[in-house]
Structure 1
């Protein structure tokens, strides 16, 4: 039984929430299943809008799934949220990732 299987069993139970959805997204990211990682990261930020780490993972998953525009939008929203809650490190990291996408789009 994998970690992912264990986490998926908890869905829709009493422990279901943003952290569980983030954990599932992270497991899919480790497997490089980027569309599923993006799906669960999006669910995590839907359940807890100010979840900086989930925004960062959502951007990464969208970018790796081939949707640079959506990744950039996720990073921009994540940066605003991270800055508003004082999560400076997450904001800095997402700014770096966003700049890379912007630079790649400009070339």
Structure 2
């Protein structure tokens, strides 16, 4: 069974598991299926906005899609959530990605 099928099987038992949704989105990125990955990241963040690791990957996806304004918005929201959760490493990664686009 491939990784996507395995993760989907796990999600059947835990449909709101943010870790599994994040992992599934990353698998779709590996397949260059940015559309499906984006949908998964957006669903995940709508359900659990404090899952800060997904902001970075969603922002990078938007950059690849030619939407720098969308990426900046995602990075800003992610930085706010990381700051609120005192997640310094995630904040620094998001800030670096943000600065790469804005400076």
TM-score, normalization: structure 2?
0.87
| Structure 2 SS opposite 1:66 | coil
Gaps (5+ residues) in structure 2? Answer: none
The 1:10/1:66 distance shift into structure 2, 3 A limit, reads: farther
* Other-structure match for 1:85: 85
Name the Cα RMSD after superposition: 1.5
- Pairs aligned (count): 102
Q: Do 1:35 and 1:65's aligned partners in 2 also have CA atoms closer than 8 Å?
A: no
- 1:2-81 counterparts in 2 under 5 A? 2-11=2-11, 13-17=12-16, 18-81=18-81
Deviating runs (4+, > 2 A) in structure 1? 8-11
Gaps (5+ residues) in structure 1? Answer: none
Tell me how far 1:31 sits from its aligned partner: 1.9
